[in-house]
Amino acid sequence: MGRGSDDLGAALMANALRKVWASSEKPAAIVFYNSGVKLLADTSPAIDAVEGLGAAGVDLVACGTCVTHFGISDRLTAGRVSDMQEIVGLLLGADRTVSL
Counting beta carbons within 10 angstroms of the beta carbon of residue 59, is it exposed (0 to 12), middle (13 to 18) or buried (19 or more)? Answer: middle
Q: What is the CATH number assigned to the segment(s) 6-93?
A: 3.40.1260.10
User: What number of residues does the chain have?
Assistant: 100
pLDDT of residue 2: 64
Instruction: Give the predicted TM-score (pTM) of the model.
Output: 0.91
Q: Is 3 a residue whose pLDDT tops 90?
A: no
Q: Is 83 a residue whose pLDDT tops 70?
A: yes
pLDDT of residue 47: 95
pLDDT of residue 1: 60
Sheet of strand 59-63, all strands in order from the earlier edge strand to the far edge: 29-32, 59-63, 80-82
pLDDT-derived band of residue 66, with 50, 70 and 90 as boundaries? very high
pLDDT of residue 4: 80
Q: Is 76 a residue whose pLDDT tops 70?
A: yes
What does the pLDDT look like over 5-63, one tens digit per residue? 888 888 899 999 999 999 999 999 999 999 999 999 999 999 999 999 999 999 999 99
